[in-house]
Amino acid sequence: MSDTQVQPVIEVVASKKKKKPVGFYIASTWIGFVVLLGLFGWLIPVRSWDSSDYDALGVGPFSPHHFLGTTQDGYDMLSGLINGARISVFVSLIAVLIGGSIGTFIGVTSAYYRGMYDRVVTTIFNVMLSIPNLVLSLALLSVLAYSDENHPTTTGRRVMVLILSLIIVIIPILGRIGRGSALQWSGREFVLASKSMGTKNFTIIKKHILPNVAPAILAIGFLAIGSVMIVEGSLALLGIGIPGGASWGSMLAAGRGNIAYSPHEVYMPALCIAFTVISCNWFGDYVRNSLDKREAKI
Amino acid sequence: MAGSGKAHMRPEGDRVLVVEDLTVEFKIAKDKVVKAVSGVSFDLIRGETLAVVGESGCGKSTLGKAILQLPKPTSGSVNFLSEELTTMSKHDLRERRPSMQMIFQDPVSSLDPRLPVSEVLAEPLKVWNKGNQVEIDAKIDELLNAVNLDPKVVRDRRSYEFSGGQCQRISIARSLALDPTMIICDEPVSALDVSVQAQILNLLQDMKDRYGLTLIFISHDLAVVKAVSTRVMVMYLGKVCEVAPPDELYLNTKHHYTKALVGSVPIPDPDRAVTKGLIMGEPPSPMNPPSGCRFRTRCPAATELCANEEPQLREVSLGHFVACHHPID
């Protein structure tokens, strides 16, 4: 044969990387900021978030001792938001991380093995998806963390139950994405080639299916962080989330009666939630675009 | 007149693969069964290249996969190197996999887009623990050199940076990694340009000579088949029609279906009249194949006998077998 030196047709494209969009920088800065607040916010020397300052009830932002003002009951907004970041970030990250891993695992294995297992999984996913997120977690919370005067529930227990119910909400969402994507990849011939050389099923899933499914999962995972945050806020607003203004959602819930006197009580946590959700969506889109290398460029 | 029969088997030869009465059926709904392959028998002698030809949907790819037990055939026997594969345990079957490999039609889809070439080629070696990293690297370089790719250039690139022909070379290199006895090539050049087809065919021939391979070459392209095979098996709707050495098959066609296939090969001559009316229409549905000879619905020579009785393969001249009640003289 004459063609002893075959050169790849497409030169490496890494040299002319596209410029990242401005939205990406804003989104990642905000996410980084919120995560840092959540992790190290308690180190910031601000007032205690759950003690009242009776000399400044409901003062507006930029007042001398309270940079972002206080609530009508005299709780400092800045300390509240910093503390709220911890719960909001902790709850949504843990829920999406655990729920996403379980969902992806179930979805990918069911797409790979097919058969009865796949049919059962799909049916369960469909049933779970047909119940609105909020209603599902509402039901779980009110059953698992029921509390009244006679049966008080600790905040810790409520947080755990909240995370659990959010995990259950996340599993079918990411599970379906994982299943759909894995279905497409397991039909590829490189999977068959891998089988024909004697690679074990689990190794094929780990080495060939999961890395190819990852972009879809990551993109939807970031979106899910956003929606989980909204669900958490909505639950708090309905009064069954984490009580006592401990998260952004529950600050919103606690302050909504005072919107006429001190609107910053409502719009500040609301803005925090909105910014974080939008940033997560943006970031997710960017991650998907950058990971989604099309192989058929020939 | 596609039929069954085992007259073309050669029990006296050094047989690598013996397939008998292989049947593959897919259940697509309640009491709806697609009979993709029905009672196909053939054998493969060491060092030979058996070409399996037929139009789309005649079960040739399914046959190739069924030999590898991906998925297992519905019934019949596949005897590879004197060991029965269909009844073998999962573990034992896995142990035999390295000696039978497959090359696929779509060169791009055959390679994981996330893995660089070095990883693609290392996979079979790692699965079977063939040496440490240094030995694996050396083997990868040897394989890439064997398929005429420069290891230094291609090692770290991924499949989407290559052309179809280059991807197919990498697939061939991967199938050679475990020193197989037999390679099933499932339309390896159908997706490639004609100029690249020749390169890949030459490469397969070189590899066959160099590594002492036995090949099953699945194709619908008779020109390609003529160039590579030592024996051709024509299939129609899951059955064998005719088995013969390629030159004999082209010069002395016995089966009406083969004649139609040979006649439909385009000849690059603009003055030549287009041959029309060789066979009409689509093949019947494999869910409900015709009685007797499966080709009778489209056959110009069909009689009542063809509807009632399935023709068996019989020898018409030395090494030339046909399953037809009314073969062409």
Region of B179 please: left (phi>0), alpha (psi -120 to 50) or beta.
left
Residue A298: what pLDDT?
A: 32
Residues of A in contact with B202 (CB under 8 A): 1
> Which fold, A22-45+60-291?
MetI-like fold (1.10.3720)
pLDDT at B173 over 60: yes
Residue A201: what pLDDT?
A: 92
Instruction: State both tokens at A298.
Output: 């020939």
CA A135, A141, A142, A143 torsion-angle sign: positive
pLDDT at B303 over 60: yes
Is the distance from CB of A94 to CB of A163 less than 8 angstroms? yes
Residue A297: what pLDDT?
A: 37
DSSP symbols for B219-255: ES-HHHHHHH-SEEEEEETTEEEEEE-HHHHHHS--S
Q: In which residue ranges of chain A is pLDDT below 70?
A: 1-19, 58, 147-153, 243-245, 292-298
Smallest CA-to-CA distance from A100 within A228, A207, A212 is with A228
> What total of structural domains would you count in chain B?
1
- Can you tell me the distance from the alpha carbon of B176 to that of B213, in angstroms, rounded to the nearest whole number? 9
Number of residues that make up chain B: 329
Shortest alpha-carbon distance between residue B314 and chain A (Å): 34
- B87 within a domain of the structure (yes/no): no
Instruction: Give the 3-state DSSP-derived string for A142-206, with helices as H, strands as E and coil as C.
Output: HHHCCCCCCCCCCHHHHHHHHHHHHHHHHHHHHHHHHHHHHHHHHCCHHHHHHHHCCCCHHHHHH
Residues of B in contact with A207 (CB under 8 A): 112, 123
Residue A296: what pLDDT?
A: 36
Residue A58 vs residues A64, A72, A236, A255: alpha-carbon distances, Å = 13, 4, 21, 11
Residue A130: what pLDDT?
A: 92
Element (H, E) at B317: strand B314-317
> In this predicted structure, which of A1-15, B12-26, B181-195, B258-272 has the lowest mean pLDDT?
A1-15
Higher pLDDT pick, A153 / B145: B145
Residue A18: what pLDDT?
A: 61
Burial class (CB in 10 A: 0-12, 13-18, 19+), B267: exposed
Touching A: B residues 156-175, CB under 8 Å: 157-164, 166, 169, 171, 174-175
In the beta sheet, which residues pair with residue A127? none
Contact (CB<8Å) A197/B171 = no
Is the distance from CB of A140 to CB of A164 less than 8 angstroms? yes
Residue A242: what pLDDT?
A: 73
Instruction: Give the 3-state DSSP-derived string for B12-55, with helices as H, strands as E and coil as C.
Output: CCCEEEEEEEEEEEEEEECCEEEEEEEEEEEEEECCCEEEEECC
Query: Which CATH number belongs to the domain containing residue B302 in this structure?
Result: 3.40.50.300
- B50's CB contacts (< 8 A; 6+ apart) are B42, B44, B215, B216, B217, B229, B230, B231, B232, B233
* C-alpha of B79 from chain center: 17
Relative orientation angle of helices A248-255 and A264-291, to the nearest 10 degrees: 150
Shortest alpha-carbon distance between residue A136 and chain B (Å): 36
Instruction: State both tokens at A8.
Output: 């790849």
Burial class (CB in 10 A: 0-12, 13-18, 19+), A174: buried
Q: What is the pLDDT of residues B1-11, one digit of tens each?
A: 456 677 788 88
Q: What is the radius of gyration, based on Cα positions, of chain A?
A: 24
Among the partner-chain residues B106, B112, B157, the one whose CB lies closest to the CB of A8 is B157
Residue A151: what pLDDT?
A: 67
Smallest CA-to-CA distance from B108 within A298, A29, A168, A160 is with A298
H-only helix segments in B42-185: 60-67, 90-96, 117-127, 133-146, 151-154, 164-176
Domain ranges of chain A: 22-45+60-291
Residues of B in contact with A298 (CB under 8 A): 108, 160, 162-164
Most confident of A234-243, B116-125, B222-231, B298-307: B116-125
Provide the domain limits for residue B77. 1-81+182-193+203-329
Is the distance from CB of B175 to CB of B103 less than 8 angstroms? yes
Interface with chain B: mutation pick from A1, A2, A6, A210, highest number of B CBs within 10 Å: A6
Q: Chain-wide mean pLDDT for chain B? A: 88
- B110 within a domain of the structure (yes/no): no
Contact (CB<8Å) B123/A189 = no
Contact (CB<8Å) B109/A293 = no
In the beta sheet, which residues pair with residue B234? B53, B242
Q: What is the pLDDT of residues B204-228, one digit of tens each?
A: 999 999 999 999 999 988 888 888 8
Among the partner-chain residues A5, A212, A294, the one whose CB lies closest to the CB of B114 is A212
Number of residues that make up chain A: 298
With CA atoms as reference, the chain A residue closest to B93 would be: A198
- A222's CB contacts (< 8 A; 6+ apart) are A280, A281, A283, A284, A287
β-pairing verdict for B182-186 and B32-45 = unpaired
Region of B81 please: left (phi>0), alpha (psi -120 to 50) or beta.
left
Q: Which residue pairs, CB below 8 angstroms and at least 24 apart, start in A250-255?
A: A250/A84, A251/A80, A251/A81, A251/A84, A254/A71, A255/A71, A255/A72
- B278 within a domain of the structure (yes/no): yes
Contact (CB<8Å) B178/A197 = yes
Confidence band of B27 (pLDDT split at 50, 70, 90): confident
**ipTM for the assembly:** 0.86
Contact (CB<8Å) B123/A9 = no
- Can you tell me the distance from the alpha carbon of A74 to that of A54, in angstroms, rounded to the nearest whole number? 6
Interface with chain B: mutation pick from A196, A202, A203, A290, highest number of B CBs within 10 Å: A196
- B14 within a domain of the structure (yes/no): yes
Contact (CB<8Å) A198/B127 = yes
Helix (H, G, I), strand (E, B) or coil at A295: coil
Interface with chain A: mutation pick from B69, B109, B148, B195, highest number of A CBs within 10 Å: B109
Residues of A in contact with B98 (CB under 8 A): 197-198
Contact (CB<8Å) B97/A203 = no
- B257 within a domain of the structure (yes/no): yes
With CA atoms as reference, the chain A residue closest to B127 would be: A199
pTM score of the predicted model: 0.81
> In this predicted structure, which of A150-159, B37-46, B161-170 has the lowest mean pLDDT?
A150-159
Given CB atoms, is A14 within the 8 Å cutoff of chain B?
no
- A169's CB contacts (< 8 A; 6+ apart) are A95, A99, A133, A136, A137, A228, A231
Among the partner-chain residues A6, A211, A297, the one whose CB lies closest to the CB of B166 is A6
pLDDT at B196 over 80: yes
Residue B78 is given by DSSP the state E
Residue A260: what pLDDT?
A: 83
